[in-house]
Amino acid sequence: MSRWTVDGELTIGDVTGPLTLAVEFGGVDDFFDGTRHAGFEAAGEIRRNDFGLGLGTLGAMLGDVVKIELDLEFVEPA
């Protein structure tokens, strides 16, 4: 499997910060209807406090780190 890193920016409310996602290519498959699908997985994490999401005492119970996991499927245009 192929692996990449994608760097970008994430905006939550009025705060924009860096976001890095580790991306893994899952492969391409031809479906019965003749379309081709490509699958990817992406994962990263952000810190709540970096985006002004402190949440007070509730934030202490939830933690500061938020994990992001994406399962993506793209269909080739006709």
Structural domain boundaries of the chain? 3-75
Paired tokens of 44: 């990263």
Bridge partners of 29, per DSSP, are 37
The answer to whether the beta carbons of residues 28 and 1 sit under 8 Å apart is no
Q: How many CA atoms lie within 13 A of 13 on its CB side?
A: 7
State the pTM of this model.
Answer: 0.78
The verdict on domain 3-75 having CATH code 1.20.120.530 is: no
pLDDT in tens, 15-69: 999 999 999 999 999 988 889 999 999 999 999 889 888 776 666 677 888 999 9
